[in-house]
Amino acid sequence: MPLALPPTIGKSMADELSIDPWGSSQSTDYSRIIDQFGLQSMQDVDVPNPSRLHRRDVIFAHRDLEFALKEHEKDNLFLYTGCGPSGSIHLGHAMVWKFTKWLQDVLDVDLWFQFTDDEKFLFKDKSFEEIQELMKDNMLDVIALGFNPKKTHFLIDTKHASIMYPEAIKVAKKLTASSIKSCFGLGDSDNVGMFFYTAMQAVPAFLPSILKKKKMACLIPHAIDQDPHFRLTRDILPKLGFFKPASIQCSFLPPLTGVEGKMSSSGDAFIALTDTPEQVKKKINKYAFSGGQDTLEEHRKRGGNPDIDISFQYLRFLFEPDDKKLSKIKSDYRTGKLLSGELKKILIDKINDFLKHHQAEREKAKKKVDQFVLKI
């Protein structure tokens, strides 16, 4: 039977928000997103020791987080997130996964990490072999972020299809073509793998319950563009005897070129986790949108606007852990004491410190992959 979904999620409906796992343009009006898609604001939840991303409203919404935390008290919760291997891992991915690692550390639970190689093959103009190479490479970045190898399980859609496909068809049997069309904006000229795919993305939300033979709660930290998948998953899982997965929505790390939209690894205006210090310096200086004034004199007199300044925003999203220091940078910039070039320099140094450590861990990760990939 068709799912009763509002026709508002999907591609470019006039005057409607567009949230779509595969679109390049995305809405970033987060309070409207909360209203329109029935999310709960993160501000309404009492989180005992909020992460930096909570405090700075980067984590802006959730579904059923209280339920997940209650199940956690009963030792009945796992985490699930994922990676679609279609290019280099950039800071936008790292942000969601660093938050996921924070959650894993705080909650001390298993994390199921899905690699959707099927999805990227079906949706991108890339060969199967290219996607496999990208996936192997992407895994190194995920491991380098420091996930607990004893509690982190990589699920690869194609490699683990013998355990995933039999479950995916149970989801697919309850999903009509029309529900996929209205949820994702797909049409009859799209390929049938695209129609089927969301069923595979639903599986890690209940597979651990099957493997552990008990009905467990699932919490999914994810970037907001994945929400359409998990809305469908939430509709279907109770029909299969599982809990609706809870979720936490991250806003997008913006591209270097401005605060609208999301960072993407197409083009050149993003920071990859494999960039050299020189590349980072060049990219930030060339592309990072500045909220400063046109001339030094004017900047000193009128100050800059941190709200639209990408360098400041990246410090807020990712690179300045200290709230007081961040606050000082903000006021110094706003008053004109801190110049755009100086702000960029702060960011460049922070990013390069992070990448130096990350890239060293990434080298070590090459020997750790087997510890993470689920044994079958």
**What is the DSSP-derived secondary structure letter of residue 375?**
P
Minimum distance from residue 173 beta carbon to a second copy (Å) = 5
Q: How far is the CB of 180 from a second copy (least distance, A)?
A: 6
Instruction: Give 342: exposed, middle or buried? Use CB within 10 Å, 0-12, 13-18, 19+.
Output: middle
Answer yes or no: are the C-beta atoms of 154 and 365 closer than 8 Å.
Answer: no
Closest CA to 180 of 96, 122, 132, 222: 122
Of 29, 57, 128, 285, the one binding a second copy (CB under 8 A) is 128
Contact flags string 78-117 toward a second copy, x per CB under 8 A: ----------------------------------------
Which 147-166 residues touch a second copy, going by CB under 8 A? Answer: 157-162, 164-166
| Tokens 């199921």 sit on residue | 112
From CA 46, how far away is CA 115, in angstroms rounded?
32
Among 170, 281, 337, 368, binds a second copy (CB under 8 A): 170
Tell me the number of residues near a second copy by CB under 8 A. Answer: 39
Q: Residue 173 interacts with a second copy (CB under 8 A)? A: yes
CB of 207 to a second copy, least distance (A): 14
**Tokens 């990939």, located at residue:** 373
| Selected range binding a second copy among 171-179, 213-221, 247-255, 275-283, rule: CB under 8 A | 171-179
Q: Which CB atom, from 45 or from 161, has the smaller least distance to a second copy?
A: 161
Q: Read off φ and ψ for residue 223, nearest 5 degrees.
A: -70, 145
Q: Decide whether 159 or 281 has the Cβ nearer to a second copy.
A: 159
Identified binder of a second copy from the candidate list 79, 83, 143, 186, rule CB under 8 A: 186
d(CA 127, CA 139): 18
Q: Decide: is 229 part of the binding site for a second copy (CB under 8 A).
A: no
Q: Shortest gap between Cβ of 163 and a second copy (angstroms)?
A: 8
Q: Can you tell me the distance from the alpha carbon of 281 to that of 119, in angstroms, rounded to the nearest whole number?
A: 33
Of 24 and 189, CB closest to a second copy: 189
Distance (Å) of CA 346 to CA 183, 308, 320, 342, 359: 42, 17, 10, 6, 20
8-state DSSP, 317: I
Point out which residues pair with 249 in neighbouring strands.
61, 222
Residues that bind a second copy (CB under 8 A): 1-2, 118, 121-122, 128, 157-162, 164-166, 169-170, 172-178, 180-181, 186-193, 195-196, 198-199, 376
